[in-house]
Amino acid sequence: MARQGLSRALVAASWLAEAVRAGRVGAGLRVLDASWYPPKERNARQEFKERHIPGASFFDIEECRDKASPYDFMLPSESHFADYVGGLGISNDTHVVVYDGDEVGTFYAPRAWWMFRAFGHKEVSVLNGGFKNWVKEGHPVTAEVTQPTPAVFKARLNRALVKTFEEMVQNVSSLKFQVVDSRPEGRFRGTELDQGLESGHIPGAVNIPFHSFLSETGHEKSIEEIQEIFREKKVDLSKPLTATCRKGVTACQIALAAFLCGKRDVAVYDGSWSEWFHRAPPHYKVSELKRSKA
């Protein structure tokens, strides 16, 4: 079977199951569970200990982040990322497959996928359909936690894939790149709270909720369907594009969807609405609720 992942952002569960059966999960192929849930709802690390894909390691997004930042899940430094993934047995030659256990199919895995790409790693794939479908299809799970042999990973941040607050502010007037917001419509429009924050969006942004790209089963939709979604929203994949959301997580679903269509340079605004809400001037926060009150 041809080795997927070198040129594709997605691998099928059947392909990964064959790799597990053939004993290929090891130095050349590493599997990461990148699940994260609100602490009061589910415990991602505990669920990993109870069952996961054989040979997988837990990618803790709480650990692999900039802990000095006031905003959730901001990218760590190059050295922090390199040390963390090196400890998971990943070198620059390793093919990495990421998944998560969210009920929608895929939620945090695209964030881990984008992080690897942001730090210069090209051989990284998302398990299509996630752990939910892995289990549904009857593939093996285990409670055995393996200890990978540490490896050396050299990270170099590709700044073209990351947008800062200052760049986003400049773009409001310059319109150098398109902005797509992956949050639910109510949060984008400002008609419902966004995890405790007043909601709204960056001026000029287009809303494509991330689940638009997922089928009812939790798999990625076809390339043709994804292209049509972008067309309907008048997003031109031949031009510069930046994705945003609440905290830089589901924005990575936009980057993944565009990548599947051949666009590999979508940037993510890492601070997203969490930062924008706290730092942007009031007239740069578009909210239908505020307009109706006015």
Model pLDDT for residues 64-102, shown as the tens digit of each residue = 998 999 998 899 999 999 999 999 999 999 999 999 999
**One domain for residues 34 and 125:** yes
**One domain for residues 144 and 222:** no
Among the candidates 125, 157, 189, a domain finishes at 157
**One domain for residues 129 and 208:** no
What's the pLDDT at 26? 87
Among the candidates 157, 189, 223, a domain finishes at 157
Laid out side by side, the sheet with 267-269 consists of: 162-163, 267-269, 241-244, 178-181, 206-207
What's the pLDDT at 196? 78
Report the alpha-carbon distance of residue 109 to residue 59 in Å, rounded: 10
Low-confidence ranges of the chain (pLDDT < 70): 1-7, 290-294
**One domain for residues 81 and 184:** no
Task: Report yes or no on 5 lying in a domain.
Answer: no
Report the alpha-carbon distance of residue 26 to residue 34 in Å, rounded: 18
**One domain for residues 230 and 257:** yes
What's the pLDDT at 246? 95
Task: Report yes or no on 3 lying in a domain.
Answer: no
Place of tokens 């009812």: 216
What's the pLDDT at 289? 75
Among the candidates 130, 157, 184, a domain finishes at 157
Task: Report yes or no on 165 lying in a domain.
Answer: yes
Task: Report yes or no on 273 lying in a domain.
Answer: yes
Domain that residue 179 falls in: 160-293
What's the pLDDT at 291? 53
Predicted model pTM: 0.94
Number of domains within the chain: 2
Catalytic residues: 245
Yes or no: say if 35 and 50 are a contact pair by the CB < 8 Å rule: no
**One domain for residues 181 and 122:** no
Task: Report yes or no on 1 lying in a domain.
Answer: no
**One domain for residues 253 and 188:** yes
Domain CATH code at residue 95: 3.40.250.10
**One domain for residues 56 and 112:** yes
Residue 29 has φ and ψ, to the nearest 5°, of -135, 120
Report the alpha-carbon distance of residue 50 to residue 146 in Å, rounded: 13
**One domain for residues 217 and 150:** no
**One domain for residues 59 and 189:** no
Pairing assessment for the beta strands 206-207 and 241-244 based on DSSP bridges: unpaired
pLDDT tens for residues 108-148? 999 999 999 999 999 999 999 999 999 999 999 999 999 99
Task: Report yes or no on 2 lying in a domain.
Answer: no
**One domain for residues 200 and 149:** no
**One domain for residues 286 and 191:** yes
